[in-house]
Structure 1
Amino acid sequence: MSEFATLLELRVDVRRKLQSGKESAARSRFRNAVVQAVVDNATVELPEVLVARQLEAMMDDYLRSLEARGVDVRAFVKANEENLQGLMQESRPQAENLVKTGLVLDAIAAEEQLEVSEDDIAAVIAPLATAGKVEPGVLREQLERSGRIRSIRQNLLRDKAADLVEGAAVPVEPTEPSEPAVSEGGEAEVTGAADDESAAVSPES
């Protein structure tokens, strides 16, 4: 039996979800823009080892996506070595930005003495355990042994730092450009422009 008694209820639910999705996307864009602005204004020395590691991770993700589509990864890599090297060079600016973003957020987390609680980690592990059909405690042990729990903790800290940056920012509504007045003859008039310009360039008495 459907959870919606009428077509109207279904339409209302769809509209609500669409609106929620738009608001979530808008907030995500704002958050990313705020964090990027902070990163752009920061001066950070990027360790080459971290950039290389990030590039390797990005390439691994790319190859895994090919494998998921049924591509023979070994044969693909062998046949496209030069192209893959070129792809890595093209991806370097993105990798550098990701590394810089991580380092900046790490610095903010340290400066603000942000912490990750066991509840924070459990909230990440729970859905992963459900998806993998394993007990959360068992998955936690596996993550501890593989060292991935450290990455989870680091990502949570960076999320908290990004939350802090986002919360300190004030969104500014874009201003609509004013339309020039149009005279009876059909010509556009710009009022006050000459006065403003002369005032801007004339020395004060």
Structure 2
Amino acid sequence: MRDLAKHQGLRNQLVEVLMKKGITDKNVLQAIKTIPRHLFLDSSFENFAYQDTAFPIGAGQTISQPYTVAFQSQLLEVKRDDKVLEIGTGSGYQTAVLYGMGARVFSVERQNELYKKTSVLLPKLGIRARHLTFGDGYKGLPNFAPFDSIIVTAGAPFIPQPLMAQLKIGGRLVIPVGEEQQIMTLLIRKNETQFEKHEFGDFRFVPMLEDRN
């Protein structure tokens, strides 16, 4: 669990790469500069952890490339103490970035192997998510709603209605929508029934699965 000066240097370089790719949110950049991504990967990937690349993390899942993490996080426009629902805890890296941005994170993972691993790892790193759970991301966490924002870190064939219902008015839902390839989609809730929709180009995620619990 070492985080050395060389890792900090590589994070600084990664932040430069992300800025060149258009990431401007200082809150996002500071979190990525701070969070030790190499500790969320198998040790065999340690020397590559700060490349802008996705890597396998087990259970057929991946840790998203840093640009994708930064892009989704920037779309959320997180403010300190915002209540954020994350669908797809995965390695816990996106969880950690949200925590680093000052969010109160509630996260759902539907792969039990990853849920168990992340539940142990995050506290070891001093990252205190408000609630981690093993469950069906399509259902969200209605008992903790409404949320200031919701982030989905897997490709969804459609936007789940329960997630839309759990978003507070004025809240932002960021979700990659599509089958083989996804379009990054932002929904902003305008009132009880209306949502404003924005699309931000093609991305590729592992598919979002349901009813795994």
**Structure with more strand by fraction:** 2
**Structure with more helix by fraction:** 1
Greater RCO (CA < 8 Å, at least 6 residues apart): 1
TM tier relative to shorter chain: under 0.3
Q: Bigger radius of gyration, 1 or 2?
A: 1
Q: TM-score, normalised by structure 2?
A: 0.23
Q: TM-score, normalised by structure 1?
A: 0.23
